[in-house]
């Protein structure tokens, strides 16, 4: 016997519904790639690089193996190396700071804005040290950081500016897309992203032909021509089958993001006037990609709210329960409890509700009413 609709679990994403909307297009793309015999790079990748770059107003796109690799080769292409400092956010997935450390550079963590959870340009300016080489802002939850202010800070101090746009496919802030004010922007196509592959994948966008050329070398063992290696690179080339999947999905991205905004608007209406559930502030609601819909709940109520929602079949997330600087792997960077208080407060309070293009209004109502009922109890 099937469960009544009120008891049907509500997941944070619905890849089955996405596949249903795409119909046979995905199958055809995968088979086309398999039959082509071109499994790494090739025309599927070139087509996706061109079209994804064009969507964001960038001159060049360079496909790589993952979002983490996009950060790593992006940093190296912009001249960041061992011993250099890179200012970034403590309130994000660990890969952002981890990529910095992986190439031998040093993460310098600056606190975020309490209202948006985005990297605070004023604190970035205060954090710059003599060895700082780059600023790495995070476009968290689908909303762009203040790139105008960060560009000004970078220019004043002669720093590179690499955007972590892993959660910001198709996003805008004041009409500006990721990669248009930064020297480059790194994207992830992990399956849960707004634009997801059928596995791992990433891309770096840039307007600089020189940077794009170096990115292409770095992703292919530093190769300048077959069996000629001008520098030490790695093997992180985007697979053709992933590009084929992404080529199918890319034309749907704008409509899917618009559906996410409609879900967010319904949540906003439900939480309007609530002191217990406070959505993060929007600096440009029309450009927000809503990779996550994130609210703040009092720290004493947050974890019980998570448990209560899950018990009711509503599967929520906490992105992120422990800020970067309090992770065990980050101890060597010299930060500790209390050093970045806004990030720490957010980690105790944030709650990410289900949001994807296939949520129904009834499901959104059920999520919001369940949460409001729990925090009122």
The CB-side HSE value for 190 (13 A sphere, CA atoms) comes to 17
309 and 81 Cβ atoms separated by less than 8 Å: no
- pLDDT of the residue at 4: 41
Whether residue 266 has pLDDT greater than 50: yes
Confidence bin at 161 (pLDDT 50/70/90): very high
Residue closest to 374 by CA, chosen among 322, 310, 319, 321:
310
- pLDDT higher for 273 or 65? 65
Reported as a pLDDT band with limits 50, 70 and 90, residue 284 is confident
Contact 39, 31 (CB under 8 A): no
Please report the pLDDT score of residue 293 as a whole number: 98
pLDDT value at position 37? 87
- HSE value, Cβ hemisphere, 13 Å, CA-based, for 189: 29
Q: Quote the percentage of the chain above a pLDDT of 70.
A: 98
The order of strands in the sheet holding 60-64 is 60-64, 202-206, 184-188, 160-164, 132-136, 85-88, 106-109
Alpha-carbon dihedral angle through residues 32, 34, 38, 40, given to the nearest 10 degrees: 110
Q: Is the pLDDT of residue 2 over 70?
A: no
- Structural domains for the chain: 17-251 (3.40.640.10), 253-376 (3.90.1150.10)
To which residue do tokens 């994403």 refer? 13
Helices (H), 78-165: 95-102, 121-127, 147-157
Total residue length of the chain: 377
How much of the chain exceeds pLDDT 90, in percent? Answer: 94
pLDDT at 101: 98
Residue 6 pLDDT: 54
Helix 25-36 to helix 43-55 angle, to the nearest 10 degrees? Answer: 130
Number of helices (H) and strands (E) in the chain: give both, helices first. 13, 12
The pLDDT, as a whole number, for residue 1 is 30
Q: What is the C-alpha to C-alpha distance for residues 251 and 271, in angstroms, rounded to an integer? A: 32
> Cα(76)–Cα(370) distance, rounded to whole angstroms?
47
Q: Output the six-digit token pair for 104.
A: 């031998």
Q: What is the mean pLDDT of residues 223-247?
A: 94
Place of tokens 């992933």: 242
Question: Quick one: tokens of 173?
Answer: 């802030």
List the structure tokens of 232. 């030490």
Instruction: Give the separation between CA 309 and CA 56, rounded to whole angstroms.
Output: 37
Contact 143/171 with Cβ under 8 angstroms? Answer: yes
Taking the C-alpha atoms of residue 8 and residue 231, their distance in angstroms, rounded to an integer, is 54
Q: Tens of pLDDT along 15-70?
A: 999 999 998 999 999 999 999 988 899 999 999 999 999 999 999 999 999 999 99
Residue 333: closest CA among 341, 348, 342, 323: 323
CA distance linking residue 124 with residue 113, whole number of Å: 11
Q: Would you state the structure tokens that stand for residue 68, as one six-digit string? A: 């983490």
pTM given for the model: 0.96
């Amino acid at each position: 016997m099937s469960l009544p609709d009120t008891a049907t679990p509500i997941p944070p994403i619905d890849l089955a519904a996405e596949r249903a909307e795409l119909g046979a297009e995905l199958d055809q793309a995968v088979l086309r790639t398999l039959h082509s015999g071109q499994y790494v790079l090739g025309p599927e990748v070139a087509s996706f690089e061109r079209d994804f770059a064009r969507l964001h107003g960038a001159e060049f796109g360079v496909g790589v193996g993952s979002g983490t690799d996009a950060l790593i080769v992006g940093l190296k292409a912009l001249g960041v190396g061992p011993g250099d400092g890179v200012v970034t956010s403590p309130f994000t997935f660990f890969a952002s700071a981890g990529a910095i450390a992986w190439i031998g550079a040093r993460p310098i963590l600056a606190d975020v804005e309490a209202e948006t959870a985005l990297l605070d340009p004023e604190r970035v300016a205060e954090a710059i040290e003599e060895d700082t080489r780059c600023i790495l802002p995070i476009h968290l939850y689908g909303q762009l950081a203040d790139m105008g202010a960060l560009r000004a800070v970078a220019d004043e101090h002669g720093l590179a500016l690499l955007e972590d746009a892993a959660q910001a496919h198709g996003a805008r802030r004041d009409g500006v897309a990721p990669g248009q004010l930064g020297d480059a922007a790194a994207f992830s196509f992990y399956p849960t992203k707004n634009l997801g592959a059928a596995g791992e994948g990433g891309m770096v966008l840039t307007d600089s032909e020189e940077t794009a050329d170096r990115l292409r070398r770095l992703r292919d063992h530093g190769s300048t021509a077959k069996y000629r290696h001008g520098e030490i690179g790695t093997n992180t080339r985007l697979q053709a089958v992933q590009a084929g999947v992404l080529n199918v999905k890319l034309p749907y991205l704008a409509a899917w993001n618009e559906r996410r905004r409609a879900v967010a608007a319904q949540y906003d209406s439900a939480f309007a006037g609530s002191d217990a559930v406070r959505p993060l502030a929007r600096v440009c609601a029309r450009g927000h990609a809503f990779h996550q819909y994130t609210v703040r709940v009092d720290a004493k109520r947050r974890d019980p709210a998570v448990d209560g929602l899950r018990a009711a079949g509503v599967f929520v997330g906490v992105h992120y329960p422990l800020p970067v600087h309090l992770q065990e792997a980050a101890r060597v960077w010299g930060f500790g409890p209390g050093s970045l208080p806004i990030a720490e407060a957010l980690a105790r309070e944030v709650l990410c509700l289900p949001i994807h293009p296939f949520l129904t209004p009834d499901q959104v109502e059920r999520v919001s009413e369940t949460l409001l009922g729990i925090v009122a109890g």
